[in-house]
Structure 1
Amino acid sequence: MTVAQQHLKTPLTHNIDLSACSRGLYIGGEWRTSEGDRKIPVVDPSTEVVLAHVSDASIGDGVAAVDAAAKAAAGWRETAPRKRSEILRRCFELMIERSEMLATLISMENGKALRDARGEVAYAAEFFRWNSEEAVRIAGQFGTAPSGTNRIIVDYQPIGICVLITPWNFPAAMATRKIAPALAAGCTVVLKPASETPLTAYALAAIYEEAGVPAGVVNVVTTSTPGPVTAAMLGDPRVRKLSFTGSTGVGRTLLAEAAKSVLSCSMELGGNAPLIVFDDADLKTALDGAMVAKMRNAGEACTAANRLYVQAGIHDAFAAGLVKRMSALSVGDGVDPKTECGPMITRKAVDKIERLVANAVQGGAKVMSGGTRPEGKGFFYPPTVLSGVSQQSEMAHEEIFGPVAPIRSFSSEDEVVALANDTEYGLAAYVFTKDLTRGMRVAGKLEAGMVALNRGLVSDPAAPFGGVKQSGLGREGGSHGILEFMEAKYIAASF
């Protein structure tokens, strides 16, 4: 028996029926094959074994999904907020009940360490609980016009049919972060998950159905030709919203496509997060935070610390501590409970990391640990620490999306703020200091939509998630998230 075969028969995975996650496209509450019955292989990044094949949607299939969403729109829009709330709450409960199955499935198709996958499921489920509470608290406004001639009434209404496009790095959380507020607002949706990790999306679709989500309210289509299929859906006049999470490059293309129909767009795009450690920071707190900010999901996150700026006085101690921690991480198969750093999503992703590291070294950086891709099966790259990384290196301006921590020393507050803001991105940033006044001052100067102060985790379903500059438009999560799926209607009334 090969290692790959052993992997597929481990106790952690033998209870998962992968055929149940690959029954076809989910349209109008039914599982159907794509036109021509085309298929997309789903590969385990740990072993390079094909786990399953999912349906490959055509343009016609995409339009059929919009048809189903349109047919269900009026009924869902008119469903009482309390009823919608109860259904969303049941989605949360079922996800928690099935959390181990979902986490294992994520680890299999995404490769991420099981501990990270468990964290993702808990985070993903929370969007349903939070938005189940938001669904019954959608409030309008009522007041008198300053002129006294009429009353001003503002009513919030569902924006309409939404196309949701999600990436492979968080196959559960990126879907629920969009689906939950859309459903709470009274919208119907078509989800297009990444073709690298579609099994989780289909497993969740079955959970939504079991929770009582009516047929056609959530539709899921996978395709190997996302450009034409997405363009057809966005060009349909019944579609009124696009919510996308992914790279800035693809985001620009989608914004141009959405402009043709003047669609409302929420865009959560790329990041280049700086992590700043001042001399007065608590060393253990800074190292703890850096490990979370850098190594959550093996660095394959848009919020991952991409540039580590450490003040000169603490630089050497921080670098030595980070090398010790990164070198101690267990690298291996995602579903192995002992694994702390799983594989990258594809061989192409490893090639990119290797290129960025080589470029940094050519620019004068020193490899303090890791830095050499291993031989054998799986898309692995070791946890790596680089010191002396130039601001002119490619990785200072491009997302690494992997387990590489590039460190650069700095002297003053003004210097590091300028370095941190020297990027087209502005999603997340991290600051470590015992001086709260300085921490708040620096947080205010950083060009980022989110700042974590003395902690390595910034995401929370109860808080607005999003960036500035070319990291995106709009916010997800918190009370802001549901408003992205609503339109404000103003009524001027005289009584």
Structure 2
Amino acid sequence: MSFRPVYSLLLKPPFRSSYRSVYLYRMASSQAASKFGLKDSGLIKTQGLIDGKWIDAKDGATISVTNPATNEELGTVPEMGLAETKEAIDAAAKAFPAWSKKTTKERHDILMKLYSLMQEHHEDLARIITLENGKTLAEGRGENAYSASFLEWFAGEAVRTYGEQIPSPLPNVRNVVIKQPVGVVSILTPWNFPSAMITRKLGAALAAGCTAVIKPPPETPFSALALAELARRAGVPDGVINIVTTLKNVGEVGKEMCESKIVKKVSFTGSTGVAKLLAGMAATTLKKVSFEAGGNAPFIVFDDANLDEAVAGAVICKFRGSGQTCVCANRIFVHSSVYAEFASRLSEKVAAFKIGNGLEESTTHGPLIHSRAVEKVVRHVDDAVQKGAQILVGGKAVPNSNFFTPTILADVPVDATLNSEETFGPLAALVKFDTEEEVIKLANATDVGLAGYFFSRDVGRAWRVAEKLEVGMVGINTGLLSQAVIPFGGVKESGLGREGGHGISEYMNEKLMVFGGI
């Protein structure tokens, strides 16, 4: 049987335009997939997702996505705008009634299926993270495992959304409280954890019975799109998850995602400045919000600390993701009596780092996300040195690249810019202190308060300092905090609400029902 007549028909109006569009999409997807080198090339999507359909921007505009280690283009995604955002919100609203009416066990099972698919495609998902973000493949694998853990956790939380009965002081009255999903949720995420920052929000939203519109960062959209593809395979119905990709139109897209009366909740991770803008937009309809904003984490080494543990904690806490995590140590305070030894040991470790392409086995640390990130680290180093700091290790940007050598600065003055601005790069700044009171004052001298760390073997001091640090999370004798089971979030200008842990409550409303005549 010949297919030529059918093919000929496809080339004639009105089929020609749509056939050409499909053909070009398949070509673009194929070319992008080949650059990623995945076992399952179907995980690479180069279109947005609205109501279960992979679509381009209405005007055909695209965003180029590059590998920060090589500056090679990995592929393109649509430059969507206001019209596509409204369609995505409408699709989420249409899907909400059926999704919210599913039993908690049904939602649990779908989330667990998605969790299993993320494990099954572990290597491919890790590779996508590495290629678009730049972090090492080992860190990409770690992120995928961390990302999947939120789905497992919130699958369990789905069946634990208990209400309560409250005894009434009135006769013949019974008070009952139930929990219901808020509705359509807007999710806006950063590039530093292109997968985990989505599942931490989306897992809770889906478990609660909400539907979602996701705006991934333009630097790292492929991880979000791969998750959406796996969600479809797991049985998530059309319209429950929608993805709008944008760069130039981010202002109008973000505004609609926050101000739309259809949207009942906004969840954002990013800078404090942007969080304030989005909070103002969301306030126009007084919807629920949760914001994880900027950090400026203190890392304190007391005179009684185990220095081996403190150095190991500083390495993982400061240099994970090349310093591009929101809970990275940004200011390292070291007691004067152990300052020299700590600086020497940390310098020895950092000097052994090898920067390079994250796919190479010997690489310990990848690039920064783009040239603007490099410029900020350069500015912070130059400012500190001009004010008297000494470079112990590194201190240089690699020309014509997104790499900055892992750096340690000693004798950093308190008035250095890096003490008031989050660096978000591989720069460890060492500051001396002499007393507990002095260092707590220094640690708290910032408008933000996401995470803090300290090392001490004194149990009394551990409780005392942990309570006095003005942060939402404290690591005591550890440089790692992040887990799916904990309440993740900050105080002061580091945001509102908590994610992970019992964060499903952020996506639910409590409803009181008072029964009379009982």
TM-score (structure 2 length as normaliser):
0.92
| 1:25 corresponds to which of 33, 48, 60 | 48
Residues 489 and 9 (structure 1), Cα distance of their counterparts in 2 relative to 1, 3 Å cut: closer
Residues 147 and 44 (structure 1), Cα distance of their counterparts in 2 relative to 1, 3 Å cut: same
Q: How does 1:96-135 map to 2 (within 5 A)?
A: 96-135=119-158
Q: Please list the CA deviations of residues 45-90 of structure 1 after superposition, one character each: whole Å capped at 9, or x if unmatched.
A: 0011111000111100000100110110000000010000000011
Kindly indicate whether the alpha-carbon contact (under 8 Å) linking 1:124 and 1:172 is maintained by their aligned counterparts in 2: yes
Q: How far apart are 1:260 and its partner, in Å? A: 1.1
Match of 1:169 in 2: 192
Kindly indicate whether the alpha-carbon contact (under 8 Å) linking 1:107 and 1:114 is maintained by their aligned counterparts in 2: yes
* SS of aligned partner of 1:488: strand
Q: How far apart are 1:144 and its partner, in Å? A: 1.4
* SS of aligned partner of 1:37: coil
Structure 1 unmatched ranges of 5 or more: 1-7
| Divergent runs of 4+, >4 A | 8-13, 16-20
Does structure 1 residue 492 correspond to structure 2 residue 492? Answer: no
Paired amino acid for 2:395: G
Paired amino acid for 1:126: S
Paired amino acid for 1:425: V
* SS of aligned partner of 1:392: coil
Match of 1:62 in 2: 85
* SS of aligned partner of 2:176: strand
Distance 2:486 2:448 in 1: 20
Paired amino acid for 1:303: V
Residues 237 and 10 (structure 1), Cα distance of their counterparts in 2 relative to 1, 3 Å cut: closer
Kindly indicate whether the alpha-carbon contact (under 8 Å) linking 2:255 and 2:281 is maintained by their aligned counterparts in 1: yes
| 1:239 corresponds to which of 263, 267, 289 | 263
Match of 1:252 in 2: 276
Paired amino acid for 1:271: G
Residues 53 and 10 (structure 1), Cα distance of their counterparts in 2 relative to 1, 3 Å cut: closer
Paired amino acid for 1:235: E
Distance 1:146 1:297 in 2: 55
Kindly indicate whether the alpha-carbon contact (under 8 Å) linking 2:81 and 2:250 is maintained by their aligned counterparts in 1: no
Q: How far apart are 1:33 and its partner, in Å? A: 1.0
Match of 2:407 in 1: 384
Q: How does 1:221-300 map to 2 (within 5 A)?
A: 221-224=244-247, 225-300=249-324
Kindly indicate whether the alpha-carbon contact (under 8 Å) linking 1:331 and 1:341 is maintained by their aligned counterparts in 2: yes
| 1:139 corresponds to which of 162, 166, 173 | 162
Of the structure 1 ranges 143-152 and 122-131, higher mean CA displacement relative to structure 2 is found in 143-152
Paired amino acid for 1:99: H
| 1:351 corresponds to which of 353, 371, 375 | 375
Does structure 1 residue 361 correspond to structure 2 residue 407? Answer: no
Q: Please list the CA deviations of residues 209-244 of structure 1 after superposition, one character each: whole Å capped at 9, or x if unmatched.
A: 001111111111111111101212322211110000
Distance 2:176 2:242 in 1: 34
Match of 2:219 in 1: 196
* SS of aligned partner of 2:321: helix
Paired amino acid for 2:261: P
Q: Please list the CA deviations of residues 429-480 of structure 1 after superposition, one character each: whole Å capped at 9, or x if unmatched.
A: 001011122111100000000000000101110000000000000000012x
Does structure 1 residue 312 correspond to structure 2 residue 339? Answer: no
Distance 2:291 2:32 in 1: 40
* SS of aligned partner of 1:115: helix
Q: How far apart are 1:22 and its partner, in Å? A: 3.3
* SS of aligned partner of 1:57: coil
Residues 150 and 9 (structure 1), Cα distance of their counterparts in 2 relative to 1, 3 Å cut: closer
The number of aligned residues is 486
Paired amino acid for 1:493: F
Paired amino acid for 1:38: A
Of the structure 1 ranges 27-36 and 13-22, higher mean CA displacement relative to structure 2 is found in 13-22
Q: Percent identity?
A: 43
Structure 2 unmatched ranges of 5 or more: 1-30
Residues 120 and 490 (structure 1), Cα distance of their counterparts in 2 relative to 1, 3 Å cut: same
Does structure 1 residue 370 correspond to structure 2 residue 398? Answer: no
Kindly indicate whether the alpha-carbon contact (under 8 Å) linking 1:360 and 1:395 is maintained by their aligned counterparts in 2: yes
Q: Please list the CA deviations of residues 102-151 of structure 1 after superposition, one character each: whole Å capped at 9, or x if unmatched.
A: 11111100001111111111100000000010001110010212344522
Distance 2:33 2:190 in 1: 27
Distance 1:440 1:484 in 2: 29
Q: How far apart are 1:13 and its partner, in Å? A: 4.4
Kindly indicate whether the alpha-carbon contact (under 8 Å) linking 1:22 and 1:53 is maintained by their aligned counterparts in 2: no
Paired amino acid for 2:54: W
